[in-house]
């Protein structure tokens, strides 16, 4: 059994057989979040890129759980300097962790930490996504990305059971492109992410799922705090 707990935005917690991982923890700064950070217990934290709405709570969560952060080399190094355990990797590479294999895929976006007080932006390496194994499932978290042709290659190379795709538009692909992405990766089940958190990325998740259904693709728009279980 794979348990998926959606914490809002792109923050997804997946648990199976005693393993629990978090992707892109953004809880304390998310006005829609329903879960308190101290109530989240994980062993690994996967980060797709270095924007604050994806890494804001990574260090605090890692320290509270003695968890290990997995990210691109630049981002892992930056966070490691803050006293947490990290594993560095990069696009196309893979690592084997206690719960299964994790591969980092490409994404078309940007990545950096904005230091407003200093009026500086610190480069955090290339953005990415993850294909990984957990609970007998193959899962794809696309991260923040626009539509790109090699999503077809991701679908051809992996038998994806569950995919998390951004639909917010403006900063990532919107619903129309996300439907095309879902077709290309041929996932058995799709959950939309990275929408509704802020006014510029307001979208209708249920309408997106309805469009998927028209193409015989299963999916569900989860509310923050909602749990989905897949056998």
Of the CA atoms within 13 Å of residue 53, those in its CB half-sphere come to: 18
pLDDT mean across residues, the chain: 97
Query: pLDDT tier at 190 (50, 70, 90 boundaries)?
Result: very high
Instruction: Give the C-alpha distances (Å, rounded to integers) separating 178 from 10, 83, 149.
Output: 14, 37, 12
Q: What pTM, to 2 d.p., does this model score?
A: 0.97
β-pair partners for 14: 4, 21
- Pairing status of strand 189-193 against strand 218-219: parallel
How high is the pLDDT of residue 151?
Answer: 98
How high is the pLDDT of residue 152?
Answer: 98
How high is the pLDDT of residue 47?
Answer: 98
β-pair partners for 46: 23, 70
- Pairing status of strand 85-89 against strand 94-97: unpaired
How high is the pLDDT of residue 41?
Answer: 98
The burial class, CB within 10 Å (0-12 / 13-18 / 19+), for 108 is middle
Q: Give the single-character DSSP code of 18.
A: T
Q: Do 202 and 196 meet the contact criterion of CB atoms below 8 Å apart?
A: yes
Pairwise CA distance, residues 7 & 55, whole Å: 14
Query: pLDDT tier at 230 (50, 70, 90 boundaries)?
Result: very high
Mean pLDDT of 185-207: 98
Hey, is 164 helix, strand or coil?
Answer: strand
Pairwise CA distance, residues 157 & 149, whole Å: 14
Give, in words, the CATH class of 2-230: alpha beta
Query: pLDDT tier at 223 (50, 70, 90 boundaries)?
Result: very high
How high is the pLDDT of residue 6?
Answer: 98
How high is the pLDDT of residue 116?
Answer: 93
Mean pLDDT of 67-84: 98
Pick left, alpha or beta for residue 229 (phi over 0 → left; psi -120 to 50 → alpha; otherwise beta).
Answer: beta
């Amino acid at each position: 059994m794979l348990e998926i707990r959606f914490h809002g935005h792109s923050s997804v917690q997946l648990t199976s057989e005693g393993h629990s991982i978090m992707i892109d923890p953004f809880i304390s700064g998310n006005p829609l979040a329903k879960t308190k950070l101290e109530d989240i217990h994980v062993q690994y934290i996967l980060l797709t890129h270095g924007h604050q709405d994806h890494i804001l709570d990574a260090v605090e969560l890692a320290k509270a759980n003695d968890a290990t952060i997995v990210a691109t080399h630049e981002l892992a190094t930056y966070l490691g300097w803050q006293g947490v355990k990290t594993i560095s990797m990069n696009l196309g590479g893979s690592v084997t962790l206690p719960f299964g294999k994790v591969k980092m895929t490409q994404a078309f976006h940007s990545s950096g930490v904005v230091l407003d007080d200093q009026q500086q932006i610190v480069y955090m390496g290339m953005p990415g996504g993850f294909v990984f194994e957990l609970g007998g499932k193959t899962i794809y978290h696309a991260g923040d990305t626009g539509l790109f042709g090699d999503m077809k290659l991701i679908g051809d190379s992996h038998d994806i059971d569950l995919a998390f795709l951004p639909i917010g538009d403006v900063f990532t692909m919107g619903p129309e492109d996300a439907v095309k992405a879902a077709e290309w990766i041929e996932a058995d089940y799709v959950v939309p992410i990275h929408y509704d958190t802020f006014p510029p990325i307001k979208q209708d998740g249920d309408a997106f799922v309805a469009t998927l259904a028209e193409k015989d693709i299963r999916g569900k728009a989860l509310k923050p705090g909602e749990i989905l279980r897949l056998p």
